[in-house]
């Protein structure tokens, strides 16, 4: 008789967020597939789970091979708990390949509810929750950031604390008045949710930022200036693809749309125009 895979969310900060069902799954598992065996071992110690079930690594470097191995163990009747370092496995963390392999082999997959930074940040932001999407990590290219800003949905995205100031400045150059929130260290001792316009947040987070960061960006309003900027960047991109020089084309599009030539050039190339 086959075993099963149990997907177990782990705390994003506060240990009390472990649910009784997750704890029971960890206690009874034959194997725990985890992103970092040392970190999961520490979590089990804090939960008083001893002796530990066998821990096996399941990270970006070995996920494909491990998915096959663990699916075979489940077929032989063993139970596997899947965890990541924090939050829900497979959400910008390893886990998808193992889940998919089990589904393809018609093995039982149970997903337990529990902590995830994505809905916590979304609700804490105070921005619209009726339509939203998760972007993963915020894209780095200015043109891709412009695509994010054109979304008619609220966008939730991860960002590195080392890059958050630069990213906010880039976003603010395109849509300074867009509502947004910077959520830092959610559920931890130094939790912070800073709300305001992208321009205000870019000024606030200019220096070094510590901790895990989630950005929440409000949706583009119909007919807003943000949409005009997006249209202008698209027009510039088409001109450049047709052979126009980027700086000269940016000046032309800026004159026609009332946007700043340097903002358009930066959105297209990711760098400031030389003067």
For the chain, what are the domain ranges?
A: 4-111, 117-217, 225-269
What is this structure's pTM? 0.77
In this predicted model, what pLDDT tens digit does every residue of 236-275 receive, in sequence order?
A: 888 888 888 888 888 888 776 667 788 788 888 776 655 5
Contact 102, 71 (CB under 8 A): yes
Element (H, E) at 122: helix 117-125
* CATH architecture, range 4-111: 3-Layer(aba) Sandwich (3.40)
Domain 117-217: CATH superfamily is Tetrapyrrole methylase, C-terminal domain (3.30.950.10)
Task: For residue 82, report the phi and psi dihedrals to the nearest 5 degrees.
Answer: -110, 125
In this predicted model, what pLDDT tens digit does every residue of 49-60 receive, in sequence order?
A: 999 999 999 999
Judging by beta carbons within 10 Å of its beta carbon (0-12, 13-18, 19+), is residue 193 exposed, middle or buried?
Answer: middle
User: What residues form DSSP beta bridges with 13?
Assistant: none
Query: What is the DSSP pairing of strand 154-159 with strand 108-111?
Result: unpaired
Q: Quick one: how far is CA 74 from the chain centroid?
A: 30
Q: What is the DSSP letter of 141?
A: S
Does the pLDDT value for residue 192 go beyond 90? yes
Judging by beta carbons within 10 Å of its beta carbon (0-12, 13-18, 19+), is residue 37 exposed, middle or buried?
Answer: middle
Residue with the larger pLDDT of the pair 233 and 100? 100
């Amino acid at each position: 008789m086959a075993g099963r895979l149990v997907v177990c969310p782990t705390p994003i900060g506060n240990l009390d967020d472990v649910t009784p069902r997750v704890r029971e799954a960890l206690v009874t598992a034959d194997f725990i597939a985890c992103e970092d065996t040392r970190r999961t071992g520490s979590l089990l110690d804090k939960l008083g789970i001893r002796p530990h079930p066998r821990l096996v690594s399941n990270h970006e470097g070995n996920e494909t091979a491990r998915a096959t191995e663990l699916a075979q163990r489940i077929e032989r009747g063993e139970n596997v708990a899947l965890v990541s370092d924090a939050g829900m496995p497979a959400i910008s963390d390893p886990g998808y390949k193992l889940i998919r392999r089990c589904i393809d082999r018609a093995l039982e997959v149970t997903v337990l509810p529990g902590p995830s930074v994505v809905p916590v940040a979304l609700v804490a932001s105070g921005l619209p929750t009726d339509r939203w999407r998760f972007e993963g990590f915020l894209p780095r290219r200015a043109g891709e950031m412009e695509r994010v800003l054109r979304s008619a949905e609220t966008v939730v995205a991860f960002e590195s604390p080392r890059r958050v100031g630069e990213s906010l400045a880039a976003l603010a150059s395109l849509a300074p008045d867009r509502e947004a929130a910077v959520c830092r260290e959610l559920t931890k001792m130094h939790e912070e949710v800073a709300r305001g316009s992208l321009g205000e947040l870019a000024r606030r987070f200019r220096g070094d930022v510590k901790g895990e960061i989630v950005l929440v960006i409000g949706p583009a309003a119909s007919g807003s200036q943000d949409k005009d900027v997006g249209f202008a960047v698209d027009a510039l991109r088409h001109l450049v693809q047709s052979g126009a020089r980027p700086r000269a084309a940016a000046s032309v599009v800026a004159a026609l749309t009332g946007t700043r030539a340097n903002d358009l050039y930066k959105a297209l190339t990711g760098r400031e125009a030389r003067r």
